[in-house]
Amino acid sequence: MANERLHLEGKDWFTEAEAAEYCGVALSTFREGYRELGIVPRRFMGRKLYSRSDLFRAIDSSPHWDPIQASSVGVRSITLDAYPNLRAGRLRPYKPRKKRGGDV
């Protein structure tokens, strides 16, 4: 289903994979986060279904995109004092390779 696009037009209720597609996130991301967004699935005939209106409400009530905050997500600042091997420079002095016998 990675390359296959789901057809969501005209539907009011989505399966879990369709709900993730509607929200524009990976299925694993959707599964991890839908509860904290207040999205409550319904059980109907053995299927777990999500309401389009609940998904829209969760997206609509989320904060606006902040490019500054988005660029710093997941980036950790490190100090070079804690990691001396990350300093720029040669690890050992340069020594030219020996010439081969046939090269002149």
Instruction: Kindly report the number of other CB atoms within 10 A of residue 46's CB atom.
Output: 5
Greater confidence (67 vs 62) lies with 62
Q: Whole-prediction pTM value?
A: 0.59
Q: Give the residue from 56, 52, 7, 48 showing the smallest Cα distance to 31.
A: 48
The predicted-structure confidence for 10-46, as pLDDT tens digits, reads as follows: 889 999 999 999 999 999 999 999 999 999 999 999 9
Selection from 13, 23, 20, 11 nearest residue 48 by Cα: 13
CB contact at 8 A, 50 and 40: no
- Per DSSP, what are the bridge partners of residue 43? 48
